[in-house]
Every structure is written in C-alpha cells, then in structure tokens.
Chains A and B, each alone.
Chain A
C-alpha cells in the first residue's frame, strides 16, 4: 500500500525567511496531494493541494511542487510569519479509486521566531 515519508519532523525559521517541507510517496497510482495545517487543539485545515497533472501551484505565500518521476512533492512558505507556526501534514491519495482515504506523513512542526 501507499506510504508517505515527510521531512523534516521539526523546522525552526526566523520571521520573514522561507520554509520548505518535503514528502515522498511510494504508490505511483496516487494522483492527489494535499497539505494540511494543524494548530494546537484544532483539526487539520486544508491549505493547498495539487493533482498529478500539475507540476506547481501557488496561493499567495504558499506553493506546492510535484515531481511525479521522483515521487516527491514539497510545500514552500515564503515570508513566514509567527501565525504560520503549526504542524503541517502532507498526504497522498488515489482520487476516484476504491480506497478514498488520505495517507498522511508524520507531520512537521514549524516554529517561526519573531
């Protein structure tokens, strides 16, 4: 079955710097790759996603890139702010398949220092 590896597990940056989180997946049939942000005491919030027919997607300060050949995808946050501090999860799934569920990475705890 699918396996998603996420690195690093913790990341500390200064406010204004960029942050990059990387994930790899094992199942070449996976075609949907979302990223979630989870703040303390809350459920995961979908912040951006990408499908396998797209190489890059941007939304203001966040962007996601996908390399299908290498089976890895990354989250890029520019001009980080203290409110970006949270745990970020990557995930993979096969949309339209019989499974339906997301397979998550273990998460990255991002700390943005003012």
Chain B
C-alpha cells in the first residue's frame, strides 16, 4: 500500500512570492491534515480537510490556505511568503473524522530567501 506522498521535495522561493505544496493521501483516506515543522517550534497544526471541506484551521494567518480535490488530494498555498515561513511542511492523512490514526508523508522543505 502506497503511503502519503508530497511534492515537491524542496521548494525555494523569494520573500513576497507564493508557494503551492501538494499532497496525495493513502488510498481510501478522506481526511488530509497539514502541519508546519519549523526549527525549534515542533509540529504545529495548519489545516484539516475532510470530504472536500475545510473542517478546522490552526492559529495561522489567512495567507495560509488550501483545498481538497474530489480525489481527496490536497494542496497548501502560502501567499506573500515571509522569511519565517521557511519550514518543513508535513501532510498527514486518515480514514476520516472519528479515526485517530494520522499517517505522515515525507514533507516539503520550503526555504524563503
């Protein structure tokens, strides 16, 4: 069974630009979660999508947004990039609301210069 996949592996952007990160969940999973792992700050929750709808978002500004497609894949968009957005962005998937287990992908390393 294929795991969670993310693309690209690395992304380098300039301050003020926009970044788009993509995630494909495990087959059969309907929920996708996005987390930010910045140096020294641990894993912080960004967004949760289930069945195409945004269910919850963490304490991040509106320039962090995303969507979930009919095939349950998801993309995360970060507008007006700032230097402090440099981090590893992790996507996780689960069977859906009511299921606790979340399985993570390898992440996208975003560097903002």
Residues of A within 8 A of B (CB): 32, 34, 36, 41-46, 49, 51, 89, 91, 93, 95-96, 98-107
User: What 0/1 readout, one digit per residue, does chain B (35-60) give for beta carbons within 8 Å of chain A?
Assistant: 00000001111001010000110100
Q: What are 19 of the A-B contact pairs (CB < 8 Å)? A: A42-B106, A43-B104, A49-B100, A49-B101, A91-B43, A95-B98, A95-B99, A95-B100, A96-B97, A96-B98, A99-B48, A100-B48, A100-B50, A100-B55, A101-B45, A101-B48, A102-B33, A102-B45, A105-B42
Residues from chain B with Cβ under 8 Å of A44 in the complex: 43, 90, 104
Residues of B within 8 A of A (CB): 4, 31, 33, 42-45, 48, 50, 55-56, 58, 90, 97-107
Q: A43-B105, A89-B43 are in contact. Are A101 and B33 (CB under 8 A)?
A: yes
